[in-house]
Structure formats: structure tokens, C-alpha cells
Amino acid sequence: MVLVSKGPWLDDDEQKAWRSYLLMNRTLETHLERHLQRDFGLSKSDFEILVNLSESESGRMRAFELGRATQWEKSRLSHHLTRMEKRGLIRKEACDSRYPEIAITEEGLTAIKECAPVHAARVREFFVDVFGPDRLAVLGEVADEIVGTIGKHCDTDCPLEARS
């Protein structure tokens, strides 16, 4: 346990930074997601699945690989995959006499190929370019530290099932 030097409460600067961060998050997320939805009819979740599938060699993965890649809970994954199948973006194929594989469809492939560059451009415009290379590098470092810190904390603390 770290001795908290300044007490548990946040001082004004810290509050301000934290709230700015929260606001940035929400703004970025809703902006990106709104456009994704409006222009291509895809949600952030759809996008994430399709990216993972399309980046794999065969365009097909076992569900739990997707789970590992996305860090989703299995039930969320299952639900979302059935919804995506209904919309024709993916297919569940029972190939090797066991658990099904998830395959991207033609439709899903064209969808992701259309929207990925546009999405990347938006990320560049509103995130990468505003940060600039130096500050972006710093952020990357800190982000990894934070993930590491929480990870360590959880190892000794909370019963997350989303571990490898």
C-alpha cells in the first residue's frame, strides 16, 4: 500500500485534469461512434470484431480467440455474434466436429474495407494530430503504465475472469 502523500482527495489541478480527461473520452467516443454508425451502420463493437476477423489470415477465428483479442466477456461476445450473424456480417460455421468458427462474410468484408480508412482518418484528425508525436509518445507510455498498475493490483485482489 502506497502512502498517499496528499490525502485521498484530489486537489484542484488534479480534479481539473481528471475531468478534462473524462470529457475528452466521452467526446471522442461519441463522435467516432456516431459517425461510424451514421456513415456505415456499424457500432464500435461491430467494428472491433470485424477488424480482428479481417486481420486474421483466413478471415475466420474461434470465438474465444476473439474473446482474448477484444477482452470481452464471453456472454457479451456470444450475444453480439448472434446479432451480427442476423445482420449478415459474419457466419458461425461448425466445421471440425466441435465448436463453431466465426467467419467474416463478403458483406462484412466490404463493410470493414469501406469504413476502416475513414475511421482511421478521423482518429488521426481528432486524436493523433492534436496530440502530435511527442505528447502522443508520452501518452502511450503512461497508458501502458496504468494498465500495468491495474493489472498488478488485480492479480492480488479481484476475481476478473478476463485473464489469459
The residues of the shown chain that bind a second copy, judged by CB under 8 A, are 2, 4, 6, 8-10, 13-14, 16-18, 20-21, 23-28, 31, 34, 71, 117-118, 120-121, 123-131, 133, 135-140, 142-147, 149-151, 153-154, 158
What residues numbered 7-36 form the site for DNA, per CB under 7 A? 30, 34
Q: How far is the CB of 136 from DNA (least distance, A)?
A: 26
Which among a second copy, DNA, none contacts residue 67 (Cβ within 5 to 8 A by kind)?
A: DNA
What residues numbered 63-122 form the site for DNA, per CB under 7 A? 63-64, 67, 72-83, 92, 97-100
Give strand pairing partners of 91.
103
Give the residue with the Cβ less far from a second copy, 95 or 121.
121
Residues 50-71: b if buried by 16+ CB within 10 A, e if exposed: bbbbeeeeeebbebeebbebbe
Q: What are the C-alpha distances in Å from 91 to residues 34, 41, 44, 54, 65? A: 26, 18, 19, 13, 16
Using the contact rule CB under 7 A, the part of the chain among 44-52, 106-114, 132-140, 143-151 near DNA is 44-52
Sheet with 101-104: strands ordered across: 60-62, 101-104, 90-93
Question: Contact between 47 and DNA (CB under 7 A)?
Answer: no
Q: How far is the CB of 11 from DNA (least distance, A)?
A: 28
Which among a second copy, DNA, none contacts residue 64 (Cβ within 5 to 8 A by kind)?
A: DNA
What string of DSSP letters covers 112-158?
Answer: HHHHHHHHHHHHIIIIIHHHHHHHHHHHHHHHHHHHHHHHHHHHTT-
Crossing angle of helices 74-86/63-70, nearest 10°? 120
Binding interface with DNA (CB under 7 A): 30, 34, 37, 43-46, 62-64, 67, 72-83, 92, 97-100
